């Protein structure tokens, strides 16, 4: 999914230094000098020698080696094979760990790979799969946003570019954005404590301006790539403007001025507020969250932000198809009870499972999705259904249990997803990879 990362200081976390211990010799010397002068010359000489030794400056911290020394060997850890055949997992690369794996990962992110770039990216992906990113109980990690930026191949962004978008004021989608932002993860205490609604409004409004500009430039000259899009490092979307398609199929005009019922990318659709939430939570700054989120929706899932949300609907249909392959009995039972994926899977597809708490587990799941492909969220949803299998089969009305999914268990979901990959036929896996385009 990800291509080669751009090395830039904005992607690197700040370094920390070790504080040398302060010497305690001065106090000891004063104590010795206050005693009666009955000490022999030999004893005085010994004390002077000890004092000189203790007053010597402490050793500076050992610098990190300039040359990357990680070696790789075969591993029994199985990682998904995301080649076109999509049939069987491949054995991944592992590395000889140092005493502090976190420091080794920091060095890789800060200094970049010292060898082959694709091999380094594969090593980073395998690291996420096997070891995971170190985080506290709130899911906070000082490395996560930089890892995401690398895996998403997001270029650095000047803060002035983000500020210029904000200074332009309300976008054409501003009213619609304001109608949604106050509902963003509204019951999640961790999110509310760290991210203010104003941040969500600013980010989504800036995104709306960016997508609006891309549409305007396409209308002016369909063959020209805009300077602004080049600065953002993202390609032009292939269509234009958002719509909302109602159940009865009627076309209306949305509050951002687009005709409903079309299939062109929008500047804002419902669900983008939840989709941007993990970026704001994990990022250190709003510009970081902005460039990562913009790159994600324009490169990874542009079909999700079209007015008709055709990518989301394709993803929902794929949930049913993949579930029928992974667990035919469960799939048949749900369909026999009239429980279709359109009912229980739409929100999870649209938000990449970010609508299901807890947030720290969402972040861990997203580490995996960004490393190996966001299309695997479809299989992650199937994995959650399989984890509920016994309860669903025992329930005469399984739709009641699927009104909300149980709390996410990222590690178990990832394990089931990895094992599920080998069951997916090549043509279906290809459809998974491209469904959000």
Domains of the chain in sequence order:
70-131 (no CATH), 159-300 (no CATH), 310-434 (1.10.472.80)
Left (φ > 0), alpha (ψ -120 to 50) or beta: where does 162 sit? alpha
**272-312 residue pLDDT tens:** 999 999 999 999 999 999 999 999 999 999 999 988 899 99
121 pLDDT above the threshold of 70: yes
How far, in Å, are 33, 74, 84, 171 from residue 280 at the CA level? 61, 37, 33, 20
Residue pair 412/298 in contact (Cβ under 8 Å)? The answer is: no
- Give the β-pairing of 72-79 and 90-95: antiparallel
Q: What is the dihedral sign for C-alpha 166, 171, 175, 176?
A: negative
Q: What is the pLDDT of residue 313?
A: 97
**134-166 residue pLDDT tens:** 999 999 999 999 999 999 999 889 999 999 999
Residue pair 261/245 in contact (Cβ under 8 Å)? The answer is: yes
Distance, in Å, from the CA atom of 383 to the CA atom of 417, rounded to the nearest integer, reads 6
Place of tokens 């429980």: 339
Which tops the pLDDT comparison, 251 or 351? 351
71 pLDDT above the threshold of 50: no
- The mean pLDDT of 412-436, rounded to a whole number, is 96
Using 50, 70 and 90 to split pLDDT, how confident is the model at 341?
Answer: very high
Q: What is the pLDDT of residue 47?
A: 55
Using 50, 70 and 90 to split pLDDT, how confident is the model at 261?
Answer: very low
Mean model confidence pLDDT for the chain: 76
- The mean pLDDT of 340-352, rounded to a whole number, is 96
pTM above 0.85, yes or no: no
260 pLDDT above the threshold of 80: no
Q: What's the token pair of residue 377? A: 């969220």
Least confident range from 38-52, 179-193, 246-260, 265-279: namely 246-260
Which tops the pLDDT comparison, 85 or 119? 119
- The mean pLDDT of 31-45, rounded to a whole number, is 46
Q: What is the dihedral sign for C-alpha 141, 146, 149, 152?
A: negative
- The mean pLDDT of 359-386, rounded to a whole number, is 98
**175-231 residue pLDDT tens:** 999 999 999 999 999 999 999 999 999 999 999 999 999 888 877 755 543 333 333
170 pLDDT above the threshold of 60: yes
Q: What are phi and psi of 345, to 5 degrees?
A: -110, -10
Percent of residues, the chain, with pLDDT higher than 90: 57
Using 50, 70 and 90 to split pLDDT, how confident is the model at 104?
Answer: confident
Using 50, 70 and 90 to split pLDDT, how confident is the model at 51?
Answer: low
């Amino acid at each position: 999914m990800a291509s080669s990362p751009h090395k830039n200081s904005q992607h690197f976390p700040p370094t920390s230094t070790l504080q040398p211990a302060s010497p305690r010799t001065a106090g000891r010397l004063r104590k010795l000098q206050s005693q009666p002068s009955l000490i022999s010359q030999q004893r005085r000489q010994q004390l002077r020698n000890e004092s000189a030794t203790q007053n010597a400056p402490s050793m500076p911290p050992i610098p990190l080696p300039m040359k990357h020394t990680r070696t790789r060997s075969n591993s029994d850890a199985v990682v998904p094979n995301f080649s076109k055949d999509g049939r069987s997992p491949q054995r991944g690369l592992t590395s000889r760990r140092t005493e502090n794996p976190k420091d080794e990962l920091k060095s890789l992110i800060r200094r970049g790979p010292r060898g082959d770039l694709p091999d380094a990216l594969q090593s980073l992906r395998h690291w996420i799969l096997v070891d995971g990113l170190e985080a506290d109980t709130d899911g906070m990690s000082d490395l996560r946003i930089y890892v995401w930026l690398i895996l998403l191949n997001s270029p650095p962004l000047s803060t002035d570019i983000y500020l210029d978008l904000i200074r332009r004021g309300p976008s054409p989608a501003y009213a619609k954005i304001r109608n949604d932002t106050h509902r963003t993860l509204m019951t999640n205490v961790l999110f509310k404590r760290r991210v203010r609604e104003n941040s969500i409004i600013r980010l989504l409004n800036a995104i709306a301006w960016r997508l609006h500009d891309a549409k305007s430039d396409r209308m002016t000259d369909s063959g020209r790539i805009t300077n602004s899009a080049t600065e953002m490092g993202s390609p032009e979307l292939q269509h234009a403007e958002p719509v909302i398609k109602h159940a009865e199929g009627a076309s209306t005009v949305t509050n951002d001025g687009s005709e409903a019922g079309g299939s062109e990318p929008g500047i804002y659709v419902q669900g983008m507020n939840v989709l941007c939430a993990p970026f704001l939570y994990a990022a250190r700054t709003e510009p970081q969250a902005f460039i990562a989120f913009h790159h994600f929706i324009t490169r990874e899932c542009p079909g999700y932000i079209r007015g008709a949300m055709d990518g989301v609907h394709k993803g929902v249909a794929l949930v049913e198809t993949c579930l029928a392959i992974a667990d035919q009995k469960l799939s048949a039972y749900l369909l026999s009870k009239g429980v279709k994926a359109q009912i229980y899977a739409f929100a999870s597809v649209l938000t990449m499972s970010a609508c299901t708490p807890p947030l720290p587990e969402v972040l861990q799941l997203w580490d995996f999705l960004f490393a190996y492909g966001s299309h695997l969220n479809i299989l992650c949803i199937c994995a959650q259904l399989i984890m509920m299998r016994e309860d669903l089969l025992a329930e005469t009305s399984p739709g009641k249990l699927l009104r909300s999914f149980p709390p996410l268990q990222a590690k178990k979901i990832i394990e089931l997803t990895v094992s599920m990959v080998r069951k997916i036929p090549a043509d279906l896996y290809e459809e998974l990879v491209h469904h959000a385009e």
